[in-house]
């Protein structure tokens, strides 16, 4: 499961447990509009909404060594003054 799909699934589960849009958005680091969109798409598409739709544009091309370096960096301790790594 891709990270985006996992985030969507987690958001749906949290809403099912009674959490508010605001609480879910803060927990997952996304906007309330994003969480609202997930809820609406779930109503229309069911669990299919968890999967990414095809994206336009050129796919990222990383060599094995580049992927390994990025993975190692992401698994290392976060920079001083930060609790964790982020893609933001």
Per-position DSSP letters for the chain, written without gaps between them: --HHHHHHHHHHHHHHTT--HHHHHHHHT--HHHHHHHHHHHHHHGGGGGSPPP--SPPP---HHHHHHHHHHHHSPPPTT-SS----
Q: How confident is the model at residue 88 (pLDDT cuts 50, 70, 90)?
A: low
pLDDT of residue 87: 66
pLDDT in tens, 35-75: 999 999 999 999 999 998 887 888 878 888 998 988 888 88
């Amino acid at each position: 499961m891709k990270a985006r799909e996992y985030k969507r699934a987690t958001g749906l589960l949290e809403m099912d447990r009674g959490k508010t849009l605001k609480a879910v958005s803060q927990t997952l680091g996304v906007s309330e509009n994003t969480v609202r969109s997930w809820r609406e798409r779930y109503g229309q598409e069911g669990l299919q909404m968890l999967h990414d739709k095809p994206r336009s544009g050129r796919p990222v091309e990383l060599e094995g060594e580049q992927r390994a370096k990025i993975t190692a960096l992401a698994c290392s301790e976060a920079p001083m003054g930060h609790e964790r790594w982020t893609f933001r």
